[in-house]
Amino acid sequence: MKILHAAQFLDERRRFALAHTCERCVYHDHDRDRCAHGYPDATHREAVYERPEDASAGMFCKEFELA
C-alpha cells in the first residue's frame, strides 16, 4: 500500500516509533536479508525512510506482522 502525505507520515513515524518495515517484520529472513515469502521488498525497507526525498516511494507490505 502506498504511503500518501510523506512528510506527515515521517513525522508520525518518529513521534510514535511506528514499526512497519521489513527489518521489523516476523517474515523477514535475517540470515538472507530478504522477505521469507520472496516478495520484492526494496520499497518496504528502513533505508527508504532514512532519506526524506525517497520517503514518498515507501510502501506498507500487506503481509507485515510485528515480530
CA-nearest of 22, 25, 26, 21 to 10 is: 21
Confidence (pTM) = 0.79
**Residues 24-59: tens digit of each pLDDT:** 999 999 999 999 999 999 889 998 888 767 667 788
If you average pLDDT over residues 11-17, what whole number do you get? 92
User: Given this model, what pLDDT does residue 30 score?
Assistant: 94
User: Given this model, what pLDDT does residue 37 score?
Assistant: 94
> Is the CB of residue 36 less than 8 Å from the CB of residue 27?
yes
